[in-house]
Amino acid sequence: SQWPAQIHDCKAAIRWIRANAEQHNLNADRIGVWGTSAGGHLVAMLGTSGDVESMDGSLGANTQYSSRVACVADFYGPTNFLTMNATAVETARLDHDAHDSPESLLIGGPIQENPEKVAAANPITYVSADDPAFLIVHGTMDPSVSFNQSELLYDALEDNGVVKTLITVEGGGHGRGFPPKTGQLLEEFFDHHLRGNETTWADQTIQTVSWERRR
């Protein structure tokens, strides 16, 4: 399916959780999301598009409920398709501008020829001051989604005064070489924003663990 079917699915799931929260002993006001790569793109969209009607869709029987989330953990997700090639590392695996790239297939045409469709699928398009807190984690040597994609999202959140933290994995790949500390930081992030646990947060750089760089 082409965009925005994917985000419509995600938002329908959030609405279902909210509609059935009491039945499952859940707090409807404390829904956090985490995704990696394409999943990172989708959770970032959940965070930035909030109740944007065109992104909400009408899937499911719970459209009277909000699809907003309380916090977002985005691990190396794309945020602006049009700039992915320009900032790719030398070991990049994909030509994102190709007519058959994952991004082009997602929007239904070559991304450089369809800037309006691309904008509709870019999380940074929808960033606003009422967005939830973000944890962004990315490796500097990612061969699939360049580190700059997370920098772009971070800067957009910064410009709008949104709470955010960037964890840079120096030398890390596309999820490869991430040390155990990234999992610890993820748990602390959710504990803080969903459970109210006290945590001191700051942008930081952590070193990768050994991994094989594949061309």
Q: What is the pLDDT of residues 132-141, one digit of tens each?
A: 999 999 999 9
- Banded model confidence at residue 198, pLDDT cuts 50, 70, 90: confident
pLDDT in tens, 35-52: 999 999 999 999 999 989
Q: Is the pLDDT of residue 215 over 70?
A: no
Q: How would you write the chain as a 3-class SS string?
A: CCCCHHHHHHHHHHHHHHHCCCCCCCCCCCCEEEEECHHHHHHHHHHHHCCCHHHHCCCCCCCCCCCCCCEEEEECCCCCHHHCCCCCCCCCCCCCCCCCCHHHHHHCCCHHHCHHHHHHHCHHHHCCCCCCEEEEEEECCCCCCCCHHHHHHHHHHHHCCCCEEEEEEECCCCCCCCCCHHHHHHHHHHHHHHHCCCCCCCCEEEECCCCCCCC
The confidence score (pLDDT) of residue 212 equals 57
What's the pLDDT score for residue 137?
98
What is the value of pTM for the model shown?
0.95
Which residue segments constitute the domains of the chain, with CATH numbers given? Answer: 5-92+122-207 (3.40.50.1820)
